[in-house]
Structure 1
Amino acid sequence: MRWVWIPAAAALLLTGCAPAADPVVRDTAQRFLDADPATACGLLSPRAMEDLTRHGRETCPDALPGVRAPAGSVTEVTVWGSDAQAKAVAETLFLHEYEDGWRITGGGCTPTAPEAPYRCLIGGP
């Protein structure tokens, strides 16, 4: 009988941190959606920033308005350990938790075909 509790306890431990991260992920995603371009760029992961400015034609604050959907409210958050997804009215954002906090790894993402679930204008899942 004692062994039945071990898998249940392990599952609880593995999922126990996700609900605590939900408000932080939601706040980070909402700040990105609401922020001016310079502030929003500060919330991007290094890879997403590089993706946005890779052609060297524009700085992040100059390039971001062309690929970011109009601000909306975050409607749903899902956290998987150090990765997360935040769905808003007009787009889906992907986030990763770094040492200094949650950063946007994919923005302007919309669902596509099953073999490539999301197409992102900035970075990716």
Structure 2
Amino acid sequence: MGPARRARRTAVAAVAAVAAVALVCGCGASRERIDGASAAASSFAEAARAGDGAAMCAVLAPETEQELERSERTACDDAVVEQHLPTAGPVERVDVHGRQAMAVFEDDTLFLSRFSSGWKVVAAGCTPRPGRPYQCRIQSG
């Protein structure tokens, strides 16, 4: 298994760990953090619906953007549109735990982290797999 594949598996495992904590932990989150994560997830989904790669990249976490550009060998705004993410409607649920969040849409799940500049998407195009980590089309390495 090559380094890129190992890095991708590690990233998937990390996303799964965040998801597990989000689903199992009964920890509460402030309305401000929930609203912030929801707004970032909605912005990403709206940009995806519009095919606005630049707006999608503006909401991606720096490492996620770099990994996308590295793996696709093109600029983020082109690479992100080429992922053909599911068309997400309104956010159905947001689970926030500390600096991590999971935003669930009808046909997509996003994972977010809080940075000094606000909430950013660390993984998108994620689908659950029973008993296994989420499978994500976009994620950091």
Quickly name the TM-score band, shorter chain normalised: 0.7 to 0.9
2:109 touches 2:125 (CA, 8 Å); kept in 1? Answer: yes
Q: Rg: which structure is higher?
A: 1
1:44 equivalent in alignment to 2:56: no
Q: Any conservation in 2 of the 1:18–1:80 contact (CA below 8 Å)?
A: no
Q: Which residue of 1 aligns with 2:42?
A: 30
Q: Which has the higher contact order (CA 8 A, sep 6+)?
A: 2
**What's the TM-score once normalised by structure 2's chain length?**
0.70
Letter in 2 for 1:59: A
Q: Which has the higher helix share?
A: 2
Residue 119 of structure 2 aligns to a residue in which SS?
A: strand
Answer with 94-103 or 45-54: which moved more. 45-54
| Separation in structure 1 between the aligned mates of residue 132 and residue 71 of structure 2, nearest angstrom | 27
- Residue 84 of structure 1 aligns to a residue in which SS? strand
Within-5 A mapping of 1:94-113: 94-113=111-130
Residue identity over aligned pairs, in percent, reads 33
Q: Secondary structure at the match of 1:53?
A: helix
Provide TM-score, normalisation by structure 1: 0.79
Aligned-pair distance for 1:19? 3.1
The one-character-per-residue Cα deviations of 1:53-94 (angstroms, maximum 9, x if unpaired) are 113521111111222222421111000011000001211000
Q: How far does the alpha carbon of each residue in 1:81-116 deviate from its partner, in whole angstroms, 9 at most, with x for none?
A: 110000012110000000110000000000014132
The residue identity in structure 1 corresponding to 2:31 is P
* Secondary structure in 2 matching 1:23: helix
**Aligned partners of 1:55 and 1:93: how far apart in 2?**
19
In structure 2, the residue matched to 1:61 is 77
